[in-house]
């Protein structure tokens, strides 16, 4: 296809549905069309782009490399066309639909929970879907509209996506109230005497930022247990004389139940950002969402 005049732009909507659904039947249902109609439009797409685009398998259809290259630009083009047909004014109080967020366990507690409380007040009709930190490329999920906003540590962010600084956090050493260590400030030797708990998203690693900082000064701790979420970590802290390093924001409602220690260990701060796909940078709904997230995170 060398000329835009040679293609019916409605075909791009069919391409987008096929790419997202990976099924002619599901794409037809999404578009309120019959399956033969979508199959016929797929044939026209193949001729227009001189490529098979989707290959049938026993589990549906899978995109060709040419199809994968087209998916992002076509979705962005369709989003731009939709903006042309939609008034840019956004009224949170009457807004409907859904927003899709992605964040780690820590950030679900530190940012997403207060954000949902704010959304319930300001945009009560909006539905919120929260996904855990993904191992798949976030840029692809965002390009397909499966995630609207990714809240994360800058270290794990997609470098090519636009982003906004939210806040900085720091790691604090904690233990249960009746821990045998009583001093407010503890030495590195004392720190490494007791077993530690650690949160890792997969629960498959006993190493984290604290271990990197200890290694830099020739020290090592014994991480006895690695768990995937902070609620489990806080429950385990009640049981034994563990030590753990946790982001300070998670201590807001727990300080009375924990002993907090100062240490001489220099651990890099946690730099929290929100990132999104370029295709929604100018969308009024998404602009409002980003402003709301920033306000909540700064509180």
Rounded Cα–Cα distance for residues 131 and 159 (Å): 20
Do the bridges between strand 222-227 and strand 195-199 make them parallel or antiparallel, or are there none, so unpaired?
parallel
Rounded Cα–Cα distance for residues 298 and 178 (Å): 33
Indicate if the alpha-carbon torsion angle 166, 161, 119, 21 is positive or negative.
negative
Do the bridges between strand 127-131 and strand 98-103 make them parallel or antiparallel, or are there none, so unpaired?
parallel
* Mean pLDDT on 54-60: 89
Cβ proximity of 273 and 152 under 8 Å: yes
Domain boundary among the residues 85, 110, 136 is at: 85
Do 176 and 159 belong to one domain?
no
Do 275 and 260 belong to one domain?
no
62 in a structural domain? yes
Rounded Cα–Cα distance for residues 145 and 157 (Å): 17
Q: What is the CATH number of the domain that holds 40?
A: 1.10.10.10
Task: Dig out the tokens for 133 from the structure.
Answer: 């930190």
* 2 pLDDT more than 70: no
Do 117 and 250 belong to one domain?
no
92 in a structural domain? no
Domain total in the chain: 3
Do 153 and 15 belong to one domain?
no
91 in a structural domain? no
pTM score, whole prediction: 0.71
Domain boundary among the residues 62, 85, 108 is at: 85
Cβ proximity of 7 and 48 under 8 Å: yes
User: Where do we find the tokens 């720190």?
Assistant: 191
Q: What is the CATH number of the domain that holds 105?
A: 3.40.190.10
CA 249 vs. chain centroid, Å, equals 18
**Tens-digit pLDDT profile for residues 81-136:** 877 776 567 899 999 999 999 999 999 999 999 999 999 999 999 999 999 887 66
| H-helix segments, 7-122 | 10-21, 24-31, 35-49, 65-85, 105-107, 113-122
Do 181 and 54 belong to one domain?
no
Do 141 and 196 belong to one domain?
no
Cβ proximity of 169 and 249 under 8 Å: yes
**Tens-digit pLDDT profile for residues 181-226:** 999 999 999 999 999 999 998 878 899 999 999 999 999 999 999 9
Instruction: Give the pLDDT confidence score for residue 105 in this predicted structure.
Output: 93
Rounded Cα–Cα distance for residues 175 and 197 (Å): 10
**Tens-digit pLDDT profile for residues 8-31:** 878 999 999 999 999 999 999 999
Domain extent at residue 58: 4-85
93 in a structural domain? no
The residues that bridge with 127 in the sheet, in sequence order, are 98
Do 138 and 186 belong to one domain?
no
Domain boundary among the residues 25, 60, 85 is at: 85
């Amino acid at each position: 296809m060398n000329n835009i005049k040679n293609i019916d732009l409605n075909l791009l909507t069919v391409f987008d549905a096929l790419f997202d659904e990976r099924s002619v039947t599901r794409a037809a249902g999404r578009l309120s069309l019959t399956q033969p109609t979508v199959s016929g439009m797929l044939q026209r797409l193949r001729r227009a782009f001189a490529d098979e685009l989707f290959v049938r398998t026993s589990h549906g259809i899978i995109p060709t490399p040419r199809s994968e290259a087209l998916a992002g630009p076509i979705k962005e083009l369709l989003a731009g066309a939709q903006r042309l047909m939609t008034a840019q004014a956004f009224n949170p109080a009457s807004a409907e639909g859904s927003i899709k967020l992605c964040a780690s366990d820590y950030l679900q507690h530190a940012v997403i929970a207060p954000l949902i409380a704010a959304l319930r007040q300001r945009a009560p009709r909006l539905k919120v879907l929260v996904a855990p930190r993904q191992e798949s490329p976030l840029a692809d999920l965002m390009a397909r509209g499966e995630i609207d906003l990714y809240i994360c540590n800058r270290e794990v962010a997609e470098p090519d996506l636009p982003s906004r600084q939210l806040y900085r956090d720091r790691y604090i050493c904690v233990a249960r109230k009746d821990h045998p260590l009583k001093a407010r400030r503890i030495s590195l030797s004392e720190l490494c005497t007791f077993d530690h708990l650690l949160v890792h998203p997969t629960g498959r690693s006993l190493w984290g930022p604290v271990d990197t900082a200890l290694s830099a000064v020739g020290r090592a701790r014994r991480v006895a247990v690695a768990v995937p979420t902070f609620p489990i970590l806080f429950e385990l802290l009640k049981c034994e004389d563990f030590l753990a390093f946790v982001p300070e924001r998670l201590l807001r409602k727990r300080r009375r139940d924990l002993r907090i220690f100062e240490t001489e260990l220099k651990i890099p701060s946690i730099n929290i950002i929100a990132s999104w796909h370029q295709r929604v940078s100018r969308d009024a709904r998404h602009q409002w969402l980003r402003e709301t997230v920033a306000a909540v995170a700064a509180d």
